[in-house]
Structure 1
Amino acid sequence: MDLAHAPSPPRGSHVPVGLRAPFSGWAWREFLYLFLSLPIASLLFAYAVAVIATGAGLLITFLGIVVLAGGLAGCRALGVVERGRARALLGLEVAEPAPVRAAKPGPLGWIGAVLKSGVSWRHLLYCLFHFPWALFSFVLATVFWSVGWALLSYPLWRWTFPAYLGVPGIQVWGDHDGHGFYLASPGEIGGVSALGLLMVLAGPWLVHGLTQVDRVMVRGLLGPSALAGRVSELESDRGVMVDTAAADLRRIERELHDGAQARLTSLARDLELAKEKLAREKSAHAPEAAARVVDEAHGEVKVALRELRALARGIHPAILTDRGLGPALSALAARCTVPVAASVDLPIRPAAAIEALAYVTVSELLENVSRHARATRATVDVWRAADRIVLRVTDDGQGGATTDAGGRLAGLAGRLGSVDGLLVVDSPDGGPTSVSAELPWRGR
């Protein structure tokens, strides 16, 4: 049973949630939802049957199509009411389905769009199918909870039986001769109250279980379709990918501008000075001075080349293309400022895009370890689990890593999410830190 909508006990409360449930606001709101469902569902059912009967009866004329389209539009309007009721009483947030979009302007285009809309027909199905369930849940919840409260309070109203009916209590069985068994002794009264207490305590959870079906119906029939939700998710992911790619390009441009480009500019200036010195000075010491300038320029060239190679390795190293993820991560671990033990256990190489994203993920995590963790050692483990590739980077540093907005891990989490991946960070203050990432497995 899903208890996600049952609130946890407030801090400082020593009363178990099971004992407080009959008096909790969420329990009575859910009971009110079931209580209102029967009259509302009856109206929706009658409306749906009238729409179908009238529309089908008039289909021999064009008027039947108009009636059916108008009826479906009315079902969508009733769906707005039902989503609002579920939101207010069940705490269920269901997104609004996509509105009707006519391919052609005018009334005929709108009628065609309504009739071809799967959302409209699902609203009609809700109006039809919710009625029998509302009837069942109303009767069960009302009878169970009302009988429970009645039995629990039996000692308070048992006096009405001898006072007005001439019998000592509730009759369990009897015959026409006046013989029977009545619940009248103290032990029997206590047993009835105990049974009532159990029913009262179980009532909220029974109601909660019944409302789970209502939640499924509202979410499945009155919300966006799974396909529409997936399309929306993919559109969002595409935006994340575009933003991530733009951020990567800006980072590359910044690193080139501030690093390699600046050094190459300095190199060009030094070489220009050397050329001018050689042209200007004809003394015996000119070649030695020029040699020193050229030697310094040569050092700058080597530094610039190292930075360019590091930048290229950070984007997509040649060893990853040639030899795969294991050797590439071993080389990456060897360059880390913290001792890293890397282990890769993959039966075959994944798709190139997944392999590259896995490499970038480990690269960024190790960079965080080097810059921020203050760790003395780290480990990298990569393996395949069913249809996922799992990466785990751990370190013994100071902890405190988060995926809060604006950080590097937040950007990495968004990048992984764009391919149905996942990033989980476990980094308490004081450490250690364990960051796990999952990517969909796609073989070459």
Structure 2
Amino acid sequence: MESAYGQGYGGWDDAAVAERRHRLPAGLRAPFEGRSWREFGYVMLGFPIGVLMFTYAVTMLSVGVGLLVTFLGVPVLAAGLAGCRGLGAMERARARALLGVEVAAPEPLRPRKRGALAWMGAVLRSGSSWRQLLYAVVQFPWSLFSFVVALTFWAYGWAMLTYPLWFWVFPMWVGQDGVQLYGDEGHAVYLDNAFEVTVTALVGLLFTMATPWIVRGLTMVDRVMVSALLGPSRLGARVVELESDRGVVVDTAAADLRRIERDLHDGAQARLVALAMDLGVAREKLTEDPREAARMVDSAHGEVKTALRELRDLARGIHPAVLTDRGLDAALSAVAARCAVPVVVEVDLPARPVPAIEGIVYFTVSELLQNVSKHAGASRAVVDVWKVEGRLMLQVTDDGMGGADVGAGSGLAGLAERLGAVDGVLVVDSPAGGPTRVTAELPWRA
């Protein structure tokens, strides 16, 4: 009880502190926020790093291009591009640490063969390598501009804001009344009286409050450059995604083949082996004990029927004939009829999609209705299938206990992977206590 009270008190105290902190306007909070100082640090580091990257990129590019008349230019240029990729990785890490920008690494190099020549060719063909070289070149002038602007505003702002604390240095150590604004042979203007010192501090306050927003605007350009030039291209990201989807499809197909092999071995095959043995015994008894042989033949006939039923169920699990012959409406109605709870099926499609999409929809509904029968504790379910804006939509709803979760290692995760392999999406809305609504979206291909 004491622990619970302590936790409750701590949560209330944290919430109160956060509320008090947020009562301060954003313009007054900004100069003291950690985000503002991280962004300022990013700009300050950007200039020396920009000098390093610009010098390296221009040097390697110049030397490599100049040596292209000989064979030495190719490895020098490839080494320069590889170094730019390493500098790009450093910049992505810096942006992640100081700006909170998560940029994925570009697509990896894909040499067509093994060896140094193949690697150099992959580096030179890679668009991401050239984009990171471009970043190393354009980042330098921008970092110089950002460095000067940010440092100027920051230094003048804090210097003027704290001027009342240090203006005494001038009359004591410099021999003048204060900071000189203007001076010629005739006269000079100094910030030396209380009014001028106060106005200077107020101007410094304005500069100090404006500096974080100016720096934030400068780092927005850095965010765009890092994301556009150091991340994966759309084509490269799509290639990686397709490779991942291909792996999912291959793994799913292999798992299906193992399941079919297991079902055949443990089911119909074992039954047929036993049937063959029984028929062999019956043949031997045919002359000695015809009545016993006839009984064994009748038993074998029943085993044949059972084996045929198992084979039909297995074939239905591979691809049901009703789906091929009559389409989704009839096939889903057949699945609903086998469900343990009443199911209403609504299919509103202008035409039949391609067989691959039909099959995915069928098996998705089959697995979802199995989950409803086994785990949901529902009294009814509804299956809706329709088309909207070039996408096939599927939704299965039940009034069960809820709590379904894609990330809980259930069959829903496998369904999500299968749908993702064809550019589909699976969304599960299943609060505790229900109802559960599972929505799938697939591309429409007729």
Q: TM-score range by the shorter chain?
A: 0.7 to 0.9
Q: After superposition, where does 1:85-104 map in structure 2 within 5 Å?
A: 85-91=94-100, 92-95=102-105, 98-99=108-109, 101=111
Q: Counterpart in 2 of 1:39?
A: 48
Q: Does 1:217 align with 2:228?
A: no
- Higher helix fraction (1 or 2): 2
> Equivalents in 1 of 2:138, 2:339: separation in Å?
62
Counterpart residue type for residue 243 of structure 1: D
**Cα drift, residue 125 of structure 1:** 0.8
CA contact (8 A) 1:399 1:432 kept: yes
CA contact (8 A) 2:333 2:345 kept: yes
> Equivalents in 1 of 2:329, 2:240: separation in Å?
36
Q: Counterpart in 1 of 2:92?
A: 83
**Cα drift, residue 422 of structure 1:** 1.8
**Cα drift, residue 93 of structure 1:** 4.9
Among candidates 235, 240, 252, match of residue 232 of structure 1: 240
CA contact (8 A) 1:170 1:183 kept: no
Q: Counterpart in 2 of 1:4?
A: none
Counterpart residue type for residue 363 of structure 1: S
> Equivalents in 2 of 1:30, 1:296: separation in Å?
82
> Equivalents in 1 of 2:386, 2:341: separation in Å?
22
CA 1:27–1:407 in 2, change beyond 3 Å: closer, same or farther? same
SS at match of 2:341: coil
Q: After superposition, where does 1:376-395 map in structure 2 within 5 Å?
A: 376-395=379-398
**Cα drift, residue 360 of structure 1:** 1.1
Among candidates 18, 38, 50, match of residue 14 of structure 1: 18
Counterpart residue type for residue 381 of structure 1: D
**Cα drift, residue 199 of structure 1:** 3.5
Percent of aligned pairs sharing the same letter: 60
- What RMSD, in angstroms, separates the aligned Cα atoms of the two structures? 4.3
Gaps of 5+ in 2: 1-12, 182-186
CA 1:22–1:344 in 2, change beyond 3 Å: closer, same or farther? farther
CA 1:206–1:188 in 2, change beyond 3 Å: closer, same or farther? closer
Q: So what's the TM-score if we normalise by structure 2?
A: 0.75
Gaps of 5+ in 1: 1-9
Counterpart residue type for residue 199 of structure 1: A
CA 1:281–1:69 in 2, change beyond 3 Å: closer, same or farther? closer
CA contact (8 A) 2:381 2:396 kept: yes
Among candidates 238, 246, 269, match of residue 254 of structure 2: 246
> Equivalents in 2 of 1:255, 1:124: separation in Å?
56
Counterpart residue type for residue 427 of structure 1: S
CA 1:53–1:251 in 2, change beyond 3 Å: closer, same or farther? closer
Counterpart residue type for residue 256 of structure 1: L
> Equivalents in 1 of 2:355, 2:112: separation in Å?
42
Number of residues of Structure 1 aligned to a counterpart in Structure 2: 421
CA 1:139–1:381 in 2, change beyond 3 Å: closer, same or farther? farther
Counterpart residue type for residue 256 of structure 2: D
SS at match of 1:379: strand
CA contact (8 A) 1:170 1:184 kept: no
CA contact (8 A) 1:75 1:124 kept: yes
Q: After superposition, where does 1:102-117 map in structure 2 within 5 Å?
A: 114-117=123-126
CA 1:64–1:314 in 2, change beyond 3 Å: closer, same or farther? closer
CA 1:240–1:140 in 2, change beyond 3 Å: closer, same or farther? same
SS at match of 2:407: coil
